[in-house]
Amino acid sequence: MPPAPFSLDGKLALVTGSGLVPQAIAALFRDAGATVVHAAEPVLDEPSVAALFEPLDALDILVNGSVRAGPWPIDRLDLSEWDRVHAVNVRGAFLLMRAAVRVMRAHGRGGRLINLSTIGAVHPVLHGNFAYGSSRAGTNALTRQFALDFAADHILSNAILVGAIRSDPFPQGCPMPPTGPGMDPGRLPLGQGKPEDVAPLALLLASDAGRYINGQAIAVDGGFSIA
């Protein structure tokens, strides 16, 4: 069990996403004492959200880790792929955050909203990241808006800008190999990280230790953004 400020004892956390980073976060939250509900599939519509939240009579922490990523050359990026990326990364995030806030406000003890985003939302990382980078910029904007609107309810909202992490492969059919500054070892002062390097920041933001952090987008990128 972690030290008291980082304990999640008695907390209920909903973690979404099938990737290695949300899995690492869910595991660390359990180690910190939380009861974790892990939903692997992305949530894209209101009926799916309702079904996910129906058995939850309370919620303390939401980690939105669902992701649709992948670089696409501009002449092969059709609107169907653009829409899929934005549906998962922006629409899904909004639906989950809206539902979580409704539950958190109803039980009146505050809560934490944590979005997994990317350093590519604020700094170009890979060639062809048109859909993913723009969708995560939308996620970051949602993070800040929820942080402003629900601070009075003690519902804090923050984003983690993930970068330089050995994680999941791109979706099948992605026609473009990853190239760009994010693939340059010289731009990674600490080298590539692991999913377990992201999870402790999520624990900070979810726990009492992060009670005065709100509306922030914090990079975990091995120093890429300063190299």
pLDDT in tens, 173-221: 788 888 999 889 889 999 999 999 999 999 999 999 999 999 999 999 9
**What is the per-residue pLDDT across 164-182, written as a single tens digit (0 to 9) for each?**
898 777 777 788 888 999 8
Q: Which two tokens stand for residue 151?
A: 């601070």
Contacts for 23 with CB less than 8 Å, ≥ 6 apart? 38, 195
The total number of residues shown for the chain amounts to: 227
Question: Which residue shows structure tokens 């492969």?
Answer: 169
Q: Which two tokens stand for residue 114?
A: 């944590």
pLDDT at 80: 94
Q: Say whether 212 is catalytic.
A: no
Q: Which of 72, 132, 146, 224 is catalytic?
A: 132
pLDDT at 1: 65
pLDDT at 177: 84
List of the chain residues with pLDDT < 50:
none
Q: Which domains does the chain have, with CATH numbers?
A: 4-226 (3.40.50.720)
Contacts for 84 with CB less than 8 Å, ≥ 6 apart? 68
Identify residue 216 by its one-letter amino acid code: Q
Strands of the 12-16 sheet, one edge to the other: 35-39, 12-16, 61-64, 111-118, 155-162, 217-220
